[in-house]
Chains A and B, each alone.
Chain A
Amino acid sequence: MVTVASFSISHTGFIDPQGEATGPLPPFAADSEALADMYRAMVLTRLFDKKAVALQRTGQLGTFPSAIGAEAIGVGLASAMRAEDVLLPSYRDHAAQLLRGVSMTEILLYWAGDERGSDFAVPRHDFPNCVPIASQICHAAGAAYACKLRREPRVAVCMAGDGATSKGDFYEGMNLAGVWQAPLVMVISNNQWAISLPRRAQTAAATLAQKAIAAGIEGLQVDGNDVIAVRHAAQQALSKARSGGGPTLIEAITYRLGDHTTADDASRYRDAAEVQQQWLREPITRLRNYLARLGAWDKDKEIRLHQECAARVERAVADFLQIPPPGVDAMFDHLYAALPKSLERQRAMARRQPAPAAHGEHHG
C-alpha cells in the first residue's frame, strides 16, 4: 500500500483569551490604530445588536438574529476586503455588513419586515442576506466565476454557519469553485450551534475546514474570537484568490453567546454553565485587554467610544422608526422588470384594500 494523498488542517490564533500575544503577530497588527479601528467596529456591532434585540422585545422589530460573540469574524473579514469585492452574507453577518457600508437603519428595516432594507445605498453590489442555508455558497461560486471571466481583480466572499456545511449546496458550490479555481473566499462561522443542534451532532468530521479538502481547495481553521487571526487568514485568502490562486475555506471557531434568534430560547437545549465558560473567550474583551497592554486603549477612550456608538445607534433607530411602511404597490413594483398585464388587475385589487393598523404586527 502507498499513501496517494495526505492532508492536514492548521489552526491559527495570535491573541489568547486573556488578551496576550502567543507569538509573533502579522505585520498589520503592528499598527495599533488599525487594531483600534477593528475594536471600534466590534463594539459598534455589539451595541447595535443589543439595541436590535431590545427593539424586538418591545415590539418595534421583527425576529432578529443576534451576532453576539461573533463580531471578530465579520470585522476581521470585512476589514481585509476591498470595496470592489463582493460580500455574500448569511443572515447573522451584520458585523461584516456594517463595515462594508450597509447602514444600521437598513439592517433594522430589513428585520422589521421591509424589503427596502436590502436596497443597500453603499455596497451596491453586495448580495442581500441569505436565509435558505448554504444556498449563497453557490451564488458566490457564480459571482467569483463572473469576476474571473471578466478578468476583474475582485473576490467573492461568502459567509455561512456550521450547519451550512451539512448541506449539498455547500459542497456543490465549493466543488465548482475548486474546478474553476474561482476567486472565492468562504468563511464558516462555526458557532457550535445550529439552532438546537450542537456541532458534534452536525458532522462526524474532526473539523469543518477539512471538508474543503474533498473539493480540492485549501481549508484552514482560525480562532474566530481573535480578530487578528481572522483578518490575517482573510488577507491571505483574498490575496491568493485575487492573484489567481483559487478558493479558500476558513473555518472560524466561535460560540453563539445569544439565542439563535429572538424567537428562540437556547436554555431549552444547552447548559448555562457552557455559555458562562464561553463568555471568558469572547472577542471584544480579548482585544481590549491586548490594546490596553500595548497602551493603545484606556478607560477614557472606552467611555468615549461607548458614547459615540450609542449616539450613532440611537440616530439610526430614530431614522428607522420614522420610515413609514411601504405602499401596497411595493409588492408588485420589482417582481418583474416591467409589470405584466396580468398583474395590473391584481395590483388594482390590492390598491382597493384598506391598509391595516400599523401596530402589533411583530412576533417572535
Chain B
Amino acid sequence: MAELNLVEAVNCALAHELAADPDIVLLGEDIGVNGGVFRATLGLQQRFGAERVIDTPLAEAAIAGVAVGMAAMGLKPVAEIQFTGFIYPAIDQIVNHASRLRHRTRGRMSCPLVLRSPCGGGIHAPEHHSESPEAMFAHVPGLRVVMPSSPRRAYGLLLAAMRSPDPVIFLEPTRLYRLFREEVEDGGVALPLDTCFTLRDGADLTLVTWGAMVPETLMAADVLAQQDVMAEVIDVATLKPLDMEPILASVARTGRCIVVHEAARSAGLGAEIAAHVAEEEIYSLRAPVLRVTGYDVVMPLGRLEKQYLPDRQRILDAAEQTLGAA
C-alpha cells in the first residue's frame, strides 16, 4: 500500500476511474501537459491521451457548460476549476443547468459531472486563490457538495463522486494537499456520499467540522483529552445533502456542540447545523451551540490570513466557554 498525500490520492482516484470507465473525461486549464497547477492530474494525459484529459482554453463558464453537455450525452466529465476563486463565472452553468437537468426533464436526462476545485486559505496564495464558498453551493438543490480532509477520504470520496449519478462539487483544501501522508489502498473502493465520518469518539463535547479545519480540530481534541475532556470529532465531508443523524446522535450524548469552519460566519453551514441541533436536540443541550468560523470579511491576503483562519486555540477557547456553561 502506498503512502500518499491528499493531492496524490486525488491523482490516484482519477487514474483509477479513467482506467476503469471509458466514459470518464477530464477537462480544465493546465491539467494535461502540465499536470495541473497542483499536479493533481500529473501524468494522466500522457497515460490516457489528450482526448480524455483535455487542456481547455481559459474559460470557466465554458468548462462547466461543456461538462453539462458532455454529461447529458452520457459521458462523465471531471472538470477542474483551477482555484475556487475562479469558479464564479461557472455558477450559472452549475445552478441553472447541472443541478437541475434531471429534475427539469423528469429524469429523461441527467448530469453526472464532477467539478473539482482547490479551495481554502493558509498557503499564502495570491488574491482570489483562498476562497471557501461551500455554503453557496450547499444552498443549491440538486447538487452534492463534498470536501475531503485526508488522503484516504479524498480517494474514496472522489471515486464516489465520479460514480455518482448526481452532479458533485468536490472542493479540495489546498492546505491539506501536502500536509501529511497516510496509507491509501488503490482498490477502487468508494466511500459513501451521504454520511458524516466520526473521527474520534467522546462523551463530553461534539466538535463538527470539515476540510482544512479537521486537522486543527483533531489537535484541539488532543489537548482537551489531556485535560480529561473527551471530544467527539465529526468530519461532515459530505456537506450536501447534509447527514445530520450522526451529529444529532452525538449531541444527544454530549449536550455540547461547536461547529468549526473556515468559511465566513453568516449564513454559513455552521448556522444550518446549529439550527438543526436547536430544532431536534435543544433539550439535550447543556450549553449554547457555538461556532468557530472565519469572519464576515473578504478573505485577507497572506499577511493577515493566519489571523482570519480558525485555529486550535480558537477552538479551545470555544470549548472552554461551552464547558464552563451550566
Contact = CB atoms under 8 A, between A and B. Distances in A.
A337 B73 contact: no
B110 interface: yes
Interface string A159-202: 00000000011001101100100000000000000000000000
B74 interface: yes
B243 A115 contact: no
B66 A138 contact: yes
B65 A135 contact: yes
A140 B25 contact: no
A143 B194 contact: no
B224 interface: no
Contacts of A168: 61, 89
Interface string B247-291: 000000000000000000000000000000000000000000000
B107 interface: yes
B103 interface: yes
Contact of B65 (A124, A139, A147, A149): A139
Contacts of A341: 194, 241, 243, 245
Nearest to B25: A149
Interface stretch (B51-59, B145-153, B173-181): B51-59
Q: What interface size band does chain B fall in?
A: 35 or more
A118 B105 CA distance: 5
Given A139-B65, A142-B68, A175 B105 contact: no
A209 to B, nearest CB: 21
Most buried by A among B66, B110, B144: B66
Interface residues of A, number: 44
A168 B65 CA distance: 11
Interface stretch (A42-50, A125-133, A221-229, A238-246): A125-133
Contacts of A86: 73
B165 A335 contact: no
A78 to B, nearest CB: 19
A127 B109 contact: yes
Given A86-B73, A119-B105, A139 B66 contact: yes
Nearest to A120: B108
Contact of B93 (A115, A138, A145): A138
Interface string A305-333: 00000000000000000000000001001
B244 interface: yes
Contacts of A140: 69
A335 B103 contact: yes
A128 B103 CA distance: 11
B106 interface: yes
B70 A138 contact: no
Nearest to A125: B73
B102 interface: yes
Nearest to B107: A334
Given A146-B74, A146-B75, A335-B141, A128 B105 contact: yes
B66 A176 contact: yes
Contact of B106 (A143, A173, A334): A334
B104 interface: yes
Contact of A143 (B72, B104, B166, B243): B72
B104 A138 contact: no
A138 B98 CA distance: 12
Contacts of B89: 168
A175 B65 contact: no
A342 interface: yes
B317 interface: no
A7 interface: no
Contacts of B71: 142
A143 B75 CA distance: 9
A86 B62 CA distance: 19
A135 B142 contact: no
B113 to A, nearest CB: 10
A143 B74 CA distance: 9
Contacts of A143: 69-70, 72-73
Nearest to B142: A335
A348 interface: no
A157 interface: no
A139 to B, nearest CB: 4
B96 interface: yes
A156 interface: yes
A343 interface: yes
B92 interface: yes
Contacts of A142: 65-73, 77
B129 interface: no
A141 interface: yes
A222 to B, nearest CB: 25
B292 interface: no
B116 interface: no
A340 interface: yes
A135 B111 CA distance: 15
A111 to B, nearest CB: 14
Given A127-B72, A135-B96, A138-B93, A337 B67 contact: no
B107 A333 contact: yes
B309 interface: no
A82 interface: no
B230 to A, nearest CB: 28
Contact of B62 (A128, A138, A343): A138
Most buried by B among A128, A139, A140: A139
Interface in B122-141: 141
A336 interface: yes
Most buried by A among B61, B96, B102: B61
A90 to B, nearest CB: 14
A342 B247 CA distance: 13
Interface of B: 25, 51-52, 56-57, 59, 61-62, 64-75, 77, 89, 92-93, 96-97, 101-110, 141-142, 144, 164-166, 194, 241-245
12 contacts: A118-B108, A119-B105, A128-B101, A135-B96, A139-B68, A142-B66, A143-B70, A146-B73, A168-B89, A334-B105, A336-B142, A337-B110
- 6 nearest interchain CB pairs? A138-B65, A142-B69, A142-B66, A172-B62, A139-B69, A340-B241
